[in-house]
Amino acid sequence: MSSPSHRLAPARRSASGWSAVSGVVAGLVLVAVAELLSLAFSSSSAPFVAVGGAFVDIVPPGVKDLVISLFGTRDKLVLFLSMIVVYAALTALIGRLGATRPRPAAALLAGLGVLAMVLVLTRAQNTALDVVPTLIGTVVAVPTLLLLLRTVRAPAAVDDPGAAWTRRRSLLGIGAVGLLAVVAAATARSITASRELARRTAQYVLPTPRSTAAPIPPDAQVQLEGMPPFVTPNGEFYRIDTALAVPRVDPTTWQLRIHGLVDQELTMDFAQLLAEPMIEKHLTLACVSNPVGGDLAGNATWLGVPVRTLLERAGVKDGADMVLSRSIDGFTASTPLEALTDARDSLIAVGMNGEPLPAQHGYPVRMVVPGLYGYVSATKWLTELKVTRFADDVAYWSTRGWSERGPIKIASRVDVPRSFGELSPDGEGAVMLGGTAWAQQRGIAKIEVRIDDGDWREADLGAEVTEDTWVQWSLRWEDAAPGDHSVTVRATDGEGELQTSQRANPAPNGASGWHTVRFSVV
């Protein structure tokens, strides 16, 4: 914008522009101060985390589904970016208002701070003390706003070059404060991130299992470029949860409480849990939000105490049919009692692929249950098991339109080729196709593959490890004709049930339908 003459009108216009900037900068100061201080408080004491968390809790059912279908596991990033945009717009408006009415503007900024404090208080793992970061952030930001507004509104004496220079310096000052706030907030965030990393590598010695899981045979893995690893490395395991900041759970103060319809309430600490006889189990977890062909599933070897053992000790009373497991952040899951007491070895898990649970996957303790989607069973950062009845208690997602029971549906997908990928025939004119399928608790008996409108062909199955783990399949397509094609896959489970072709969206109890991938042979 070139302004050959500085007359009053453009100066005033630019003053209101700078007022908006002042609003944004004061808003940044609020966040930066609160972020820095929140390092000493709960991970959800940071205002953005608390506000976002509250938002996640109240968004209408289906929105989560939509966001996950659009952005997958980047859902949290998308939420944070949207919040930043909304917050910048709000604080810019406040600043604008402040150009003519600074006090109401200051009151509005204080109001935003108070709103954030209220939302901080609604977070389950927060105590009243956790409002301190936002409180101090607000207390610093409000006078900052007034100060910045006064600087901006300083009468622009166009004829006085000295005053113009002072003014330019003030505007530079505003920019500097804004920059400092951004740097401070970013530093606080990166400290949080590096702490999470440090926590992930904070080792304690995992107990030796009483029974180890049979080793995974090498031919469970189909040797084909582009196939996912049969055992998902912890760092690649999908992550889905409502926690915008990974809860910080201290194993030295952690406790598990088992109560409700039991003969005697049980409370145990982490050392007591580690002293329990543990078993190891290969198990594929799957998310109810996984679309047909999606990758919200992962396979790991878990170490833990059978839930059954602890429920037997507490003594389940007649009439109970559900266990409501609770996370430190307030998330709950309703698991049918029998899934925790029958022979399937549902676990209170402390280990994942030979390591303590990573922070993102529930450190230090979570549940894993074969055959059920994660939202009704796989509670991370576990703190409580309430033995109850479906008639009496409702879990987090069930109050948001998802089914209260979530048995995993048969799923099969094509991993090779990728959608719109290209395959080159080998010397004999053949191409290799491959994929993954699961039907926990029933196992996969057969995989069939159809190319274009051809006949169904039976695929080769990699070694089945247990009925609770996924299997990999491959198909050698001889005489692959160059050109565009599609491949469709369907599975039959161990009970003889053929995967339905009926398309269903993830809500309310899991997607169904056959996965088709378009590709070309070149």
Residue with Cβ nearer ligand MTE (41 or 238): 238
Contact in structure between 79 and 68 (CB atoms under 8 Å): no
Q: How far is CA 97 from CA 106, 138, 158, 297, 421, in A?
A: 10, 18, 24, 49, 54
Residue 347: helix, strand or coil by DSSP? Answer: strand
The whole-angstrom separation of Cα 256 and Cα 382 is 7
- CB nearest Mo ion: which residue? 287
Query: Which of 21, 287, 433, 449 lies at the binding interface for Mo ion (CB under 5 A)?
Result: 287
Please give the backbone phi and psi of residue 348, each rounded to the nearest 5 degrees, phi first. -90, 105
- The answer to whether 53 contacts Mo ion (rule: CB under 5 A) is no
Judged by beta carbon, residue 73 or residue 201, the one nearer Mo ion is 73
- The nearest distance, CB 348 to ligand MTE, in angstroms, is 13
Q: CA 14 to CA 413: how far, in whole Å? A: 57
- Residue 440 CB, nearest distance to Mo ion (Å)? 14
Least gap, CB of 242 to ligand MTE (angstroms) = 4
Given CA atoms 9, 10, 11, 12 in this order, what sign does their dihedral have?
A: positive
Shortest Cβ distance from residue 190 to ligand MTE (Å)?
23
Closer residue to ligand MTE (CB): 401 or 429: 401
Residue 11 or 78 with smaller CB distance to ligand MTE: 78
| Residue 379 interacting entry, from ligand MTE, Mo ion, none, C-beta within 5 to 8 Å by type | ligand MTE
Q: For residues 149 and 286, which CB has a smaller minimum distance to Mo ion in the complex?
A: 286
Q: At 85, phi and psi to the nearest 5?
A: -65, -45
Q: Which stretch binds Mo ion (CB under 5 A): 13-21, 138-146, 371-379, 435-443?
A: 371-379
Q: What radius of gyration, in Å, describes the C-alpha atoms of the chain?
A: 28
Select 327 or 412, whichever has its Cβ closest to ligand MTE: 327
DSSP H stretches of helix in 344-461: none
Binding to Mo ion by residue 245, rule CB under 5 A? no
The CB-of-287 to ligand MTE minimum distance in angstroms stands at 3
Phi-psi region of 354 (alpha: psi -120 to 50; beta: other; left: phi over 0): left
Contact partners, residue 280, CB within 8 Å, separation at least 6 = 209, 211, 212, 213, 301, 302, 303, 351
In the list Mo ion, ligand MTE, none, the entry touching 238 (Cβ below 5 to 8 angstroms by class) is: ligand MTE
The residue number with the shortest CB distance to ligand MTE is 374
d(CA 223, CA 472): 10
Contact pattern for Mo ion over residues 123 through 162, marking x by CB under 5 A: ----------------------------------------
Residue (24 or 408) nearer to ligand MTE, CB: 408
3-state SS, one letter per residue, for 269-322: EHHHHHHCCCEEEEEEEECCCCCCCCCCEEEEEEEEEEHHHHHHHHCECCCCCE
237-245, 315-323, 324-332, 431-439 -> range binding Mo ion (CB under 5 A): 237-245
Angstrom distance (rounded) from CA 279 to CA 350: 11
Give the nearest distance from C-beta 288 to Mo ion in angstroms.
Answer: 5
Binding mask 164-193 for Mo ion (x = CB under 5 A): ------------------------------
The pairing of strands 297-306 and 347-352 is: antiparallel
Q: Where are the beta strands (DSSP E) in 295-430?
A: 297-306, 322-327, 332-336, 347-352, 355-356, 366-368, 382-388, 411-416, 421-423
Q: Which of 146, 185, 222, 240 binds Mo ion (CB under 5 A)?
A: 240
Is 368 a binding residue for Mo ion by CB under 5 A? The answer is no
- How many angstroms separate the most distant Cα atoms in the chain? 89
Q: Which residues bind ligand MTE (CB under 6 A)?
A: 237-243, 285, 287, 298, 327, 329, 331, 361, 374-375, 378-381
Binding at 242: pick from ligand MTE, Mo ion, none (beta carbon under 5-8 Å per type): ligand MTE
